[in-house]
Amino acid sequence: MHKVEEFQNMLQGRANVKCLKDLDKKIEIVEDGKTFEENALIKARCLYQVLKEPVISDDSGIEVDAMDKRPGVYSARFMGEDTDYAIKNQAIIDAVKGKVKTARYVCVIAYIDENGQEKTYRATIEGEINDRPVGKKGFGYDPIFYYPPFQTTLASVSEEKKNSVSHRGKALQMFLKDLEATL
């Protein structure tokens, strides 16, 4: 639900954002891709087949260099989908202790237009794993994702400020720019 809220805020009423739970149909999507692009396209293709209208989907996560870019595409499922992010965040903090702390958020938006043409938009935000969780805003790994230009974690800044630099915000801007060029 957090992603839906982020998309709604970034789109500022220019589109109707829905998640799978909002649809009348039960749609089962198996995210078994090895890359963010593959997973974003898997979701978009499934939705397009059911809805028969243009769709966007995203796949995103955090890559931690000291963990060989894990959790990566498994970010939501890291340590189990039902595991609280406080536990996941502490596991990452522990894993990078004494190691390089560089990390990035990655977002890929997949778009399928009314003719079935597919396109993906990939964006990142570079940062570091903080020594401890800081901030109450955001969600997921935001309390441990230190963004040097802000000199704090993404969980410590307003949603508007975060979205202005975030992986999801950048990918969405790429998509919107491309979409507006075709209109």
Residue 142, marked binder: yes
Rounded CA-CA distance 162/167 in Å is 9
Could you check whether the bond before residue 133 is cis, i.e. omega within 30 degrees of 0? no
Residue 59, marked binder: yes
Active-site residue, from 58, 59, 82, 94: 59
Q: What does the radius of gyration of the chain's CA atoms come to, in whole angstroms?
A: 17
Residue 60, marked binder: yes
Q: Which residue in 114, 118, 124, 123 sits closest to 38, CA to CA?
A: 118
The H-or-E segment that residue 112 falls in is strand 102-112
Annotated active-site residue 58? The verdict is no
Length of the chain: 183
Residue 168, marked binder: yes
Tokens of 52: 């028969």
Residue 2, marked binder: no
Grouping H, G, I as helix, E, B as strand and the rest as coil, residue 164 is helix
Tokens of 107: 């977002």
Residue 139, marked binder: yes
The residues carrying an active-site annotation are 59
- Annotated binding residues for Mg(2+), as ranges? 59
- Annotated binding residues, as ranges? 59-60, 139-142, 162, 167-168
